[in-house]
Amino acid sequence: MSSERLIEDFNAGKPAALARVVSIVENHREGFEEILSTLHSRTGRAKRIGLTGPPGAGKSTITALLVKNFRDAGLRVGVIAVDPTSPFTGGALLGDRVRMENVALDPGVFIRSMATRGSLGGLAAATRETADVLDAFGFDRLLIETVGVGQSELDVARTADSTVLILVPESGDSIQTLKAGVMEVADIFVVNKADRPGADRLRNDVELMLGLRKGVSFGNVPAHHGVDLKRVNPARVAREAAAAANQTVWTPPVLSAVATKQEGITEIVAALDRHFAYLQQSGTLRERRRERMRERVMDVVERKVSERLWKDPGTRAWLEEQLPSVEGGTSTPFAVADQLLRQSGELVRGEQRT
């Protein structure tokens, strides 16, 4: 099928064309840049929602319920699962609490797993590109599910307009498994399995950490769940600075949910709506999307440089010749890198080596 015909079918909303385009883009097959360039002007309409949290927090169940909620409201939903533990990744289902099959058969829903992606190309960059494709296809909401543990996964969470952090009371340690910085990235906190012991304490801990509780001296509060409450909280400091400057301020809500009983989902949807309204009114949406665009360009630049350098047989051969002296200690990685770059200006510019 020609590239023009594929784009035509894509623009006409044909599901097969969508699957084909996503696959070409994900695997960086011949022509993926042209396709993304063609689709580019159609992006920017979808609201991108990140869902993150430790393994076992119930992210997938909440994602499935959000899909159902959005579908009931007539919205089309794309799901990008970056969490290897997610049932959406197509592996074994962790449970049948939610009927994933119904979701999977609905033409208004598209699910894509990126969990088994190799290490070539950044996960965050790949997620942004797949999200752009789904956005251009016309999905109204994009749900990006990622386990909040690794660094790449935190970078993925940063690609969303709104980020929901899902926590559970039973595993106090689980907060420790989160990458430092995840707490600061979250716009909405959800304490899932809120009917279990320890839920109130977890809520308190999170609120304390956010600086939402008044009249508490941080100096006297012991660290729960490994979270050092005495540490200055960047989110709180930013909020206070914004308030002092008379700007609109977003205070992250700490919601409760029991996803297995479908409780608390409409509250999450309402909080997402409030957050999106805040993003628009405060100008934060424009800032976040500009930042995303900046990172898009920088990703592409860095990827092009890597490809142009490492796919060039002459450069690879030259590098191999240098390795023995680096190993022997008569040269260093830095000296070789400097020389490689001095002689590769044309390659980086995209020209043939003369």
Site for a copy of itself in 283-322 (CB under 8 A): 289-290, 293-294, 296-302, 304-306, 309-310, 319-320, 322
Per-residue mark of binding to a copy of itself, 197-226 (x: CB under 8 A): --------------------------x--x
- Specify the residue, 12 or 180, whose C-beta has the smaller distance to a copy of itself: 180
Residue 189 has φ and ψ, to the nearest 5°, of -105, 140
Q: Which residues ranging from 100 to 119 are in contact with a copy of itself (CB under 8 A)? A: 115-119
- Specify the residue, 107 or 118, whose C-beta has the smaller distance to a copy of itself: 118
The footprint of a copy of itself on this chain (CB under 8 A) covers a number of residues equal to: 80
Rounded Cα–Cα distance for residues 53 and 221 (Å): 24
Rounded Cα–Cα distance for residues 28 and 141 (Å): 24
Q: Can you list the positions of beta strands (E) in the chain? A: 47-53, 77-81, 109-113, 141-147, 162-167, 188-191, 254-256
- Specify the residue, 147 or 272, whose C-beta has the smaller distance to a copy of itself: 147
Per-residue mark of binding to a copy of itself, 320-339 (x: CB under 8 A): x-xx--xx-xx-xxxxxxx-
Distance (Å) of CA 312 to CA 23, 118, 250, 333: 25, 21, 49, 19
Minimum CB distance to a copy of itself, residue 334 (Å)? 5
- Specify the residue, 151 or 251, whose C-beta has the smaller distance to a copy of itself: 151
Whose structure tokens read 């660094």? 151
Q: Which residues of 281-296 are buried (b: 16+ CB within 10 A; e: fewer)?
A: eeebbeebeeebeebb
| H/E element, 302 | helix 284-310
Taking each helix axis as running N to C, give the angle between helix 284-310 and helix 265-282, from 0 to 180 degrees, rounded to the nearest 10.
90
Any contact of residue 44 with a copy of itself (CB under 8 A)? yes
Per-residue mark of binding to a copy of itself, 239-268 (x: CB under 8 A): ------------------------------
Q: Which residues ranging from 10 to 39 are in contact with a copy of itself (CB under 8 A)? A: 33, 36-37
Centre a 10 Å sphere on the Cβ of residue 159 and count the other Cβ atoms it contains. 24
Of residues 174, 233, 256, 284, which one binds a copy of itself by CB under 8 A?
174
